[in-house]
Structure 1
Amino acid sequence: MLAAWRLSQWYVYGRQSFTKAGFEHAAKSFNPADCDVDLSSRHFIITGATSGLGLSCAQVLARKGGTIHLVCRNKDKGEKTLDQLKADTNNQDIHLHVVDLSEIGAVRRFCSSFQLPLHGLINNAGIMVHTRTLTQDGHDVNFVTNVLSPFLMTVELLPNLRRSGDGRVIFVSSGGMYAQELKPDDLEDKKLTKYDGTWVYAHNKRAQVCLAELLAEKVSPAQDSPVTFYSMHPGWADTPGVRLSMPSFFDQHKGILRTAEQGADTIVWLAIAPSLTGPEQRSKYNGKFSLDRHVVSQHLFGAQTQPSDDDLAKLWEYVCKKANIPPDFYKNKT
């Protein structure tokens, strides 16, 4: 019964706020100056940047003069995207990094090789595999790609983010997380009697939101860090990922879906808006969950999805252990 309640609440909220109409209504209050920024000499890493939200982010940031680092798994697709972006944006400072986010070792090697100051890390890449698939390390591939690798990349690139003076990390979550509670004793969904990729994806996205909050609570104060951590919901957007992974949902809602650019708007805003600097604004947004440039609740009324402190502690311990990171790494200021 509770699961059905969550889904019904999610759908009602979604029809009101996650659609193209929801974005257009919210956009009436946007401040255009927030994204009217010259990004020359700023570096941004975008995972999953060959299509959908990631590609839209890359296009916008490149047109503003940013140096863009595309992280993708498929070399051929990445090279085509790279060439097209350079031609479309007249920006030659766009670089391709081929990294399979389902391989922890590959993620770690990439982070070790990246020596530049980093102004924005956009953890956008995501997958929704509908059958249980294990990585070479024996982990669920959805969990590694959607949760563990973004966390590892964030931690490994903290020195680069600090060097920029205003490093920002954005976890691109999903409205599906509203229908899921965090299950700290089964983060890789091994106890599911029938594997459901949509369910697992939503659980992964709930974990992402929790990790953004935990990173803000632990890293920012401990290191007096200029790095901020955000999670966000792009709304229901028409992307290749939605068409491929959720064909029924797409067919039923294609007339009301946002464009990829509309879905990417809050990602870009979180990555570059000058209005997010300063102690007051950092406090307001750091670790929080945003939709359409506003902080919104991470939970629906009556859904009972709030994690306990113990739940969050278990999540932190698990991802640190699986990523081979000391749980108190943030206490080291070097």
Structure 2
Amino acid sequence: MSERILTPFGFESAALEVVEGVDLSGRRAVVTGGASGIGVETVRALAAAGAEVTIAARDVEAGRRVAAEVSASTGNNAVLVAPLELTSQESVKAFASAWDGPLHLLINNAGVMAPPLTRTPEGWELQFATNHFGHFALTLGLFAALRAEGARVVNVSSAGHLSSPVVFDDIHYERREYDRWQAYGQSKTANVLFGVEAGRRWSGEGITMNALMPGGILTALQRHITPEELEERRRLRGGSNPLRLKTPEQGAATTLVLAVSPLVEGRSGLYFEDCDEALPHAPGMSNGLAAYAADPEAAAQLWEVSEETLKVQA
């Protein structure tokens, strides 16, 4: 077992601190959901370090506004925007097909949290379709670009993964009663398992994939949740010590650690919290990595189900 990775950064660190002194000139990055929340700060930090950054967004106009603001604040004019709707396989294929040349960083950041039961036209539960299937199809669609020079893929997961493993016999709530938090949880577990199996399958391809918990941050991600419910969940998750909130700048820091730190070079299937590799989850704790999210058998099964469902292969 490898020694746990600890970095010089922590809960209070901001994304720009993580990239200080890092030179990403000549590197190309894609950030899904880069037009809002921690995605904006992820884009800003990558641009500040000199990368060419493409904001992949449903709302292209919002993406353009963010791109202009980030370019103005960093002096980097290579902040681009492209349309991407993760629930549409046609949109995902179009984005991947239009990509030309190498891709060094893919930040699978976009997501949806705890909506009422909603299904895609295919009948897939919305959270799993967006948070996992969309990013799975996008990553495999960009495989050749990622493999060209070696790349890092970063999946923004959540401590919400502690709510549920992937329930393979009823992923889309066709037979069981819908629970929006469990549905969110299994989609976030899938984000971690994706990296576990990618590490096994792509170990010789020069591509690594890791996942993270950004922390509790008030962003548009919580648009389906009332303030009262959010406060109640903070109390429940934190027990006698309610979950501390982060700013978006702090929330993006762990993403940047996985994107640029030499400490994670060549490593896959890891899960980070507060800029360090997470410990295993312990009963009564609101953090850590659930054993089922690191299970290689579940990771292999998820990959097979995803390929079969989406009819995609790298």
| Fold in common (TM above 0.5) | yes
Pair 1:197–1:275, CA change in 2 (3 A): same
Residue number in structure 1 paired with 2:225: 245
Distance 2:18 2:38 in 1: 22
Say whether 1:306 aligns with 2:288: no
Specify the code of the residue in structure 1 equivalent to 2:222. Answer: V
Residue number in structure 2 paired with 1:78: 63
The residue correspondences of 1:71-220 to structure 2 (distance < 5 A) are: 71-128=56-113, 130-165=115-150, 167-193=151-177, 195-220=178-203
Q: 1:317: how far off?
A: 1.7
Q: 1:259: how far off?
A: 0.6
Paired residues, number: 291
Residue number in structure 2 paired with 1:229: 209
Residue deviations 1:62-115 (CA, integer Å, cap 9, x gap): 111110000000122222222222222221101101111110111011101101
Residue deviations 1:216-242 (CA, integer Å, cap 9, x gap): 11221xxx1211110111111232323
Q: Is the 8 A contact 1:40 1:66 kept in 2?
A: yes
Partner-residue secondary structure (3-state), 2:80:
strand
Deviates further, 85-94 or 119-128 = 85-94
Residue deviations 1:124-166 (CA, integer Å, cap 9, x gap): 000125222222223222211111011111112121112233x
Q: Is the 8 A contact 2:165 2:185 kept in 1?
A: no
Residue number in structure 2 paired with 1:262: 250
Q: 1:290: how far off?
A: 0.9
Residue number in structure 2 paired with 1:332: none
Q: 1:191: how far off?
A: 2.7
Deviates further, 247-256 or 66-75 = 247-256
Specify the code of the residue in structure 1 equivalent to 2:186. Answer: H
Pair 1:83–1:244, CA change in 2 (3 A): farther
Specify the code of the residue in structure 2 equivalent to 1:201. Answer: Y
Pair 1:250–1:131, CA change in 2 (3 A): closer
Distance 1:237 1:251 in 2: 12
Partner-residue secondary structure (3-state), 1:185:
helix
Distance 1:137 1:96 in 2: 27
Pair 1:242–1:269, CA change in 2 (3 A): same
Partner-residue secondary structure (3-state), 1:160:
helix
Specify the code of the residue in structure 1 equivalent to 2:107. Answer: I
Q: Identity of paired residues, percent? A: 30
Q: 1:264: how far off?
A: 0.7
Q: Is the 8 A contact 1:34 1:275 kept in 2?
A: no
Distance 1:33 1:242 in 2: 26
Partner-residue secondary structure (3-state), 1:210:
helix
Specify the code of the residue in structure 2 equivalent to 1:185. Answer: D
Pair 1:33–1:190, CA change in 2 (3 A): closer
Specify the code of the residue in structure 2 equivalent to 1:119. Answer: H
User: Runs of 5+ in structure 1 lacking a partner?
Assistant: 1-21, 330-334
Partner-residue secondary structure (3-state), 1:60:
helix
TM-score, normalization: structure 1? 0.79
Structure with the higher fraction of residues in helix conformation: 1
